[in-house]
Amino acid sequence: MDTADLLAAISDGGANGSSLAERFGVSRTMVWKRMQQLRAEGVVIEGAAGEGYTLVDPAGFGPWTLGWRCKRQIQFFEVCGSTNVEARKLAESSSSPEGLLVVANQQDAGRGRLGRAWNTEAGHNLLFSVVLKPQVVPQLAPVCVLAWAAAMAEVLDCQVKWPNDLVTPEGHKIGGILAELASEAEQVRFVVLGVGINVNQTSFPDLPQATSLSILRGQPLDRAELLGRLVAAIESVPTQGAPSLGLWRSRSHTLGRTVRVGDVEGLASDVRDDGALLVGGHAVLAGDVEMVAS
């Protein structure tokens, strides 16, 4: 019984348990159980088996809702240490990990770049990892990560800060990315793309430069619906070879500014074909970008 078809069947109301059971070839008990599972995830469904069900509000967050929004089975954790760790375990044990998606409602050992902690309020944000298999040599994996970041920025209508942040035009952080690579000598086996996005959290006492989508838009967002759009955008990036960085350049918060990366300071003029940032004529392959006041 496909969840999307079930929700479509009750979207206009009037479908009772018997008619739904006959339509999907399952028992009335199975229909009732699925309704209860969706309700437990926050989907608002009125009615009961005998009188007919009506879908009132599809916004929920859990394995059934996420599976419907993302069009695949989800590995869902209410709490886990790190979605990247869980995704990598599953990818290593699977012969075909492409598209595998791990989602947590909260992480208690989330990580950003350089081993930094990534701490957010439970139940308010998006914390997920998707396993991808770009057809590139390992040296070009960073280009794919930049392209995936730009695709997400297009959905969120925000900017990208080299190498891995999603930010507002003012530089306030909305989200971050942590990509982990598994490769052989001449081929990427898979990339675990870990993403954390501040969606409905409204207070960041320890992170004054952070913000969230709900703060920016003045209302809470449906996290599951947003995740579906983000995953679709990531997977729409062509990676049969290094993808174009045209969208990244157009969404960049870094290019055209004077920056400091480690000991290198100068104008960030472009990104190379391997994803390196060009700063004052020097190629920077890794590091944290600090904006320098002009």
What residue type is assigned to position 136 of the chain? V
**Residue 266 is part of which domain span?**
258-291
pLDDT digits (tens, 9 = 90+) for 39-63: 999 999 998 878 889 999 999 999 9
Do 134 and 150 lie in a common domain? yes
- Clarify whether residues 244 and 264 are in a common domain: no
* Same-domain pairing of 128 and 198: yes
Please give the average per-residue pLDDT across 265-273, as a whole number: 96
pTM of the model: 0.92
Residues 98 and 50 in one domain: no
Q: What is the pLDDT of residues 204-217, one digit of tens each?
A: 888 888 999 999 99
Over residues 265-269, mean pLDDT: 97
Residue 9 shares a structural domain with residue 68: no
Conformation bin of residue 246: beta by default, left when phi > 0, alpha when psi is -120 to 50: alpha
Residues 91 and 174 in one domain: yes
Q: How far, in Å, CA of 76 to CA of 34, rounded?
A: 17
Is residue 39 located within the same domain as residue 126? no
CATH of residue 174's domain is 3.30.930.10
- Tell me: do 40 and 72 sit in the same domain: no
99-113, 139-153, 231-245, 280-294: which range is least confident on average? 99-113
Residue type, 2: D
Q: Is the dihedral of CA 78, 81, 84, 85 positive or negative?
A: negative
Q: How far apart are CA 226 and CA 174, in angstroms?
A: 14
Residues 51 and 126 in one domain: no
pLDDT digits (tens, 9 = 90+) for 154-199: 999 999 999 999 999 999 999 999 999 999 888 999 999 999 999 9
Which domain CATH number covers 36?
A: 1.10.10.10
Domain end residue (candidates: 23, 38, 57): 57
